């Protein structure tokens, strides 16, 4: 295909790679400029002493969006990246007592819920049906840009208000379905994918747990980093040039429009610039403050940002075959743990945590007879109240102690390789503003048209992709942002997209089912 226009993409994360596939397939000459030595950004692989760890995301959800992007480029995701659908999806351990082995099998899930709350088990099916409708109805809006309040006020959007109930928090919304607080936590901890508390997160995001049960939780062989490596390979086959170890110093702007980027080694001219990097960090580093009207440094400092994470990547002797692939421990006083993270900005003494024990599914991640443990503790972002040079050793010991609560004993003695990443590390190594691993919080005043726009409003011919723009964080949503952004860019270049978007979530409900589910 003759390429008459060119675009530079800053960052080889999942959003940038997805945009590269779509733009290259549509005839744009694409160059990706990546500051790190490998592709993937936070969705990349840490290799150390023969062990392999996902750096960031470990849950692969709703593969439909990426399947469509691969298909539009002429590739089959299932063939390019083999995946295992997990059953059970994960194990939930409640500090307040009880466990829940989450499974996509409805009958078994109802029995698992009944072990904790028989009354709530009977409501599981209605919860699934209700959220199937919610996703079906809202999906077209997740696939469209929101560039002003007028997009929000469209009649079709206003009709959704009773179903979306934006005036309710996620936990309040779940109280309609489940009475036991532990069960509600089991269907709302997913708000941590957005770096938010379920007591503040908008009710729309009940669709996150629904996606897990309806469409599955997957483990890509080799980890989620295998997905971005496959995307980079395909992009290269489509003619995309990927420059590694090439940090961008600044976006070149002339007469209010982006005309390229400058690195230490070269200047790259472009008809359009796509930024796939942490939004606040990238703006402060690459775009002069005076070139920004709405998103100045001063305004960014006043925005709410997500939590951060304390990470431990452990390569160990032997395996814990009786521990699930994914295990989430929810602290006894979950609300206080969240308050410590979001309001007080201090470290909890009894924190919630998550452990991925991936080698029970994928033994390619470790040498024979050994395995990997990925340990994540949600913590406050950088707010000037935690000195990680002092706290990291103490929190490491606390994390090892907490892990005993899910059956992981004697871990420290078995460690053969280890890496720790704190919020300071996220800020320094990945240029995340305040070390916030999920970018800006997804509160109602920072969503849709109130989030940085896919077609960036402060600089012409500049576009955003990734968790910092609409629709938000999480791999499926980031892939959707790539489609939105790519369509806008091509529209501005007066080019046609060479792909189609299949609207809807693949479910068909009768009118009676729709009315019943909404009511």
SS (H, E, C) 396-433: HHHHHHHHHHHCCCCHHHHEEEEEEECHHHHHHHHCCH
pLDDT at 503 over 80: no
Residues 96, 93: Cα–Cα separation, whole Å: 9
3-state helix/strand/coil string of 271-304: CEEEECCCHHHHHHHHCCHHHCCCCCHHHHHHCC
Residue 510 has pLDDT above 50, yes or no: no
pLDDT of residue 149: 60
pLDDT confidence of residue 26: 95
Mean pLDDT over 478-505 rounds to 84
Percent of the chain with pLDDT over 90: 79
Residue 417, beta-bridge partner list: 315
Mean pLDDT highest for which of 162-171, 189-198, 372-381, 494-503?
372-381
Q: What is the mean pLDDT of residues 318-335?
A: 96
Where residue 506 falls among pLDDT bands split at 50, 70, 90? very low
- Supply the pLDDT for residue 137: 80
Assigned fold of 307-434: Guanine Nucleotide Dissociation Inhibitor; domain 2 (3.30.519)
Query: Cα-atom radius of gyration of the chain, to the nearest Å?
Result: 22
Over residues 386-407, the mean pLDDT reads 97
Q: How confident is the model at residue 443 (pLDDT cuts 50, 70, 90)?
A: confident
**What's the average model confidence in pLDDT over 29-41?**
97
- 131-142: pLDDT as tens digits: 898 888 877 777
Q: Which two tokens stand for residue 79?
A: 């063939």
Residue 491 has pLDDT above 50, yes or no: yes
Q: How far apart are CA 174 and CA 191, in angstroms?
A: 13
Domains 5-83+222-302+442-492 and 307-434 are alike in CATH topology: no
Burial 108-133 (b: 16+ CB within 10 A, else e): ebbebbeebbeebbebbeebbbbbbb
User: Above 60 in pLDDT, residue 432?
Assistant: yes
CA atoms within 13 A of residue 145's CA, in its CB half-sphere: 20
Split at pLDDT 50, 70, 90, the class of 513 is very low
Residue with structure tokens 């070269």? 266
- Peptide bond between residue 92 and the one before it cis (omega within 30 degrees of 0): no
The SS3 of residue 319 is: coil
The conformation of residue 99, written as its DSSP 8-state character, comes to E
For 212-243, the pLDDT digits (tens) are 999 999 999 999 999 999 999 999 999 999 99
pLDDT (0 to 100) of residue 197: 80
Cα three-residue angle 496-502-506, rounded to 5 degrees: 175
pLDDT of residue 249: 97
Placement of tokens 């040498």 in the chain = 367
- Residue 272: φ, ψ to 5°: -155, 150
pTM score, whole prediction: 0.91
CA distance linking residue 166 with residue 173, whole number of Å? 10
Class of 5-83+222-302+442-492 in CATH: alpha beta
Q: In the predicted model, what is the mean pLDDT of the chain?
A: 91
Distance CA 393, CA 494 (A): 55
What is the reported pLDDT for 160? 66
Strands 51-54 and 45-48, sheet pairing: antiparallel
Q: Give the rounded percent of residues in the chain with a pLDDT score beyond 70.
A: 92
| Per-domain residue ranges of the chain | 5-83+222-302+442-492, 112-215, 307-434
Q: Is the pLDDT of residue 518 over 70?
A: no
Instruction: Enter the tokens of residue 358.
Output: 């991936």
**442 touches 192 (CB < 8 A):** no
Separation between Cα atoms, residue 469 and residue 281, nearest integer Å: 13
Going by pLDDT thresholds of 50, 70 and 90, the confidence category of residue 519 is very low
Structure tokens at 153: 């006020």
Helix axes 475-492, 14-25, angle to 10 degrees: 40
Q: Say yes or no to pLDDT of 347 above 50.
A: yes
* Nearest residue to 433 via CA among 442, 447, 423, 448: 423
C-alpha–C-alpha distance, residues 31 and 7, integer Å: 6
| Cα–Cα distance, 432 to 435 (Å, whole number) | 5
Backbone CA torsion sign across 81, 85, 86, 90: positive
Give the residues across from 260 on adjacent strands.
Answer: 252, 269
E strand or H helix at 31 = strand 28-33
CA distance 277 to 466: 7
Q: Which two tokens stand for residue 482?
A: 């790539």
Determine the pLDDT at residue 196: 72
pLDDT digit string, tens, across residues 157-212: 666 666 666 667 888 889 999 999 999 999 998 887 676 788 887 887 888 899 89
Whether 468 and 280 have beta carbons less than 8 Å apart is answered as yes
| pLDDT tens, residue by residue, 251-298 | 999 999 999 999 999 999 999 999 999 999 999 999 999 999 999 999
pLDDT at 120: 96
Is a pLDDT exceeding 70 seen at residue 299? yes
- In the predicted model, what is the mean pLDDT of residues 11-29? 97
pLDDT over 90 (residue 444): no
């Amino acid at each position: 295909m003759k390429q008459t226009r060119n675009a530079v993409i800053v960052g080889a994360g999942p959003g940038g790679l997805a945009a590269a596939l779509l733009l290259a397939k549509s005839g744009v000459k694409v160059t990706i400029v990546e500051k790190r030595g490998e592709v993937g950004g936070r969705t990349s692989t840490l290799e150390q002493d023969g062990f392999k760890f996902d750096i960031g995301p470990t849950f692969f959800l709703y593969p439909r969006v990426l399947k469509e992007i691969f298909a539009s480029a002429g590739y089959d995701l299932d063939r390019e990246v083999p995946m295992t659908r997990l059953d059970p999806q994960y194990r939930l351990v409640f500090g307040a007592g009880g466990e829940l082995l989450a499974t996509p099998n409805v009958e078994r899930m109802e029995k698992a819920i009944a072990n904790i709350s028989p009354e709530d088990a009977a409501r599981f099916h209605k919860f699934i049906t209700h959220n199937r409708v919610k996703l079906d109805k809202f999906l077209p809006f997740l696939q469209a840009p929101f560039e002003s309040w007028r997009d929000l006020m469209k009649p079709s959007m206003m009709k959704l208000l009773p179903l979306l109930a934006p005036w309710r928090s996620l936990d309040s919304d779940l109280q309609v379905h489940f009475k036991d607080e532990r069960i509600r936590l089991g269907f709302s901890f997913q708000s941590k994918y957005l770096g938010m508390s379920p007591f503040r997160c908008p009710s729309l995001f009940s669709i996150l747990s629904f996606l897990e049960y309806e469409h599955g939780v997957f483990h890509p062989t080799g980890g989620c980093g295998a997905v971005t490596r496959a995307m980079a390979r395909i992009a290269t086959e489509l003619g995309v040039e990927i420059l590694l170890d090439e940090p961008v110093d600044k976006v070149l702007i002339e007469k209010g429009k982006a005309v390229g980027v400058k690195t230490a080694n070269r200047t790259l001219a472009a008809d359009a610039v796509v930024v796939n990097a942490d939004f606040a960090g990238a703006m402060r580093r690459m775009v002069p403050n005076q070139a920004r009207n709405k998103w100045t440094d001063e305004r960014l400092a006043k925005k709410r940002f997500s939590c951060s994470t304390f990470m431990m990547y452990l390569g160990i002797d032997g395996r814990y075959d009786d521990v699930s692939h994914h295990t989430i421990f929810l602290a006894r006083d979950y609300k206080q743990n969240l308050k410590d993270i979001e309001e007080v900005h201090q470290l909890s003494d009894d924190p919630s945590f998550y452990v991925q024990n991936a080698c029970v599914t994928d033994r390619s991640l470790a040498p024979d007879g050994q395995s990997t443990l990925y340990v994540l503790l949600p913590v406050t972002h950088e707010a000037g109240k935690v000195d990680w040079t002092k706290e990291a050793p103490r929190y490491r010991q606390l994390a090892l102690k907490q892990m005993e609560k899910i059956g992981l004993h004697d871990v420290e003695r078995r460690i053969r390789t280890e890496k720790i990443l704190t919020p300071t590390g996220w800020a320094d190594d990945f240029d995340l503003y305040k070390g916030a691993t999920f970018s800006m919080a997804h509160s109602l005043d920072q969503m849709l048209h109130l989030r940085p726009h896919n077609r960036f409003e402060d600089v012409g011919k500049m576009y955003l992709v990734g968790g910092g723009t609409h629709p938000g964080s999480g791999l499926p949503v980031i892939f959707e942002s790539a489609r939105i952004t790519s369509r806008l860019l091509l529209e501005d270049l007066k080019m046609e997209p060479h792909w189609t978007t299949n609207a809807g979530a693949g479910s068909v409900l009768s009118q009676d089912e729709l009315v019943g589910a909404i009511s």
